[in-house]
Amino acid sequence: MKTPDVEIEKICINCHSSFPAESNFSQTWICLADPVFEPFVDDLIERNDYSKCQNIVKTKQFPDNQEACDKFDPVEPEDVCEIDKELGERLFELSEQGGLNDDSFIIEVLNNQLKKMGQSDYPLEPYIKLLYSTNNDETLRGFEQISAAISQGNKPAIKVIMDYYKQLPPAITLVEVNWKLFVINKLNISFDKKELFACVVNELYKTESNNTTRQLISRLFKIMENK
């Protein structure tokens, strides 16, 4: 149960998306909700491997006390206090090995949280509500959080994004085209190709061909070719 008299300071280190900028002791952080890190999430979380994104980390890192942005997703007190058995055993193991410190503790808590995001019963409802918001920033935040769950193998999360994409109206403006490209690229990485193929065919059928939609149509045809 959340402790009612504890106020979470709105700084980046108190956000679910924060991650150490270095594999060892680090006083700077990166944001895993930043789309630029999406291709490297598995390397960072599962293998503690920064080799493929070192240059990006250097340009994106920030101090732990940096004021959080409007996508702030606070780590609630119960997220830290209610340690499950697996996490507790891992922390005990690190302690026995002399490897438990502030950074390793935070990394293990984040690893545990991400692992939970991959479970089929992980609660996606708050992020689905954001995804369908009329506020573009909230929609993006919901999409990023559900995408993080997809990256951890959460199959219901994939269906959420597919259902969302199917209900989008035909793209008319360049903004709508770019958003559809953003979403379909996530589905192309994660979704069953046969089911995606049917979705792509339907999208082509309802999309008017013109200079604005040309890039989207071209991408859809490439997805069909690589089915």
What does each of the 227 residues of the chain score in pLDDT, given as a tens digit? 343 444 667 888 788 788 888 765 567 889 988 889 888 887 887 677 888 998 999 999 998 788 888 888 877 544 444 456 777 777 778 888 888 787 778 788 777 777 788 888 888 998 999 999 998 888 988 898 888 888 888 889 988 998 999 999 999 999 999 999 988 888 887 666 777 888 888 888 889 999 999 999 998 888 888 75
> Please, which residues have CB within 8 angstroms of residue 134's CB and are 6 or more apart in sequence?
none
d(CA 175, CA 178): 5
CB count in 10 Å sphere of residue 220: 21
Show me where the domains of the chain are located.
Answer: 12-117, 120-166, 168-227
Identify the pLDDT of residue 65.
80
CB 190 within 8 A of CB 150: yes
CB 208 within 8 A of CB 177: no
**DSSP SS3 for 45:** helix
Distance of CA 19 to the CA centre of its chain: 12
Record the tokens describing residue 137, joined without a space. Answer: 């920033």
| Torsion (CA) 145, 146, 148, 153 in degrees, nearest 10 | 160
pTM of the model: 0.56
30 sits in which H/E element: strand 28-31
d(CA 86, CA 109): 11
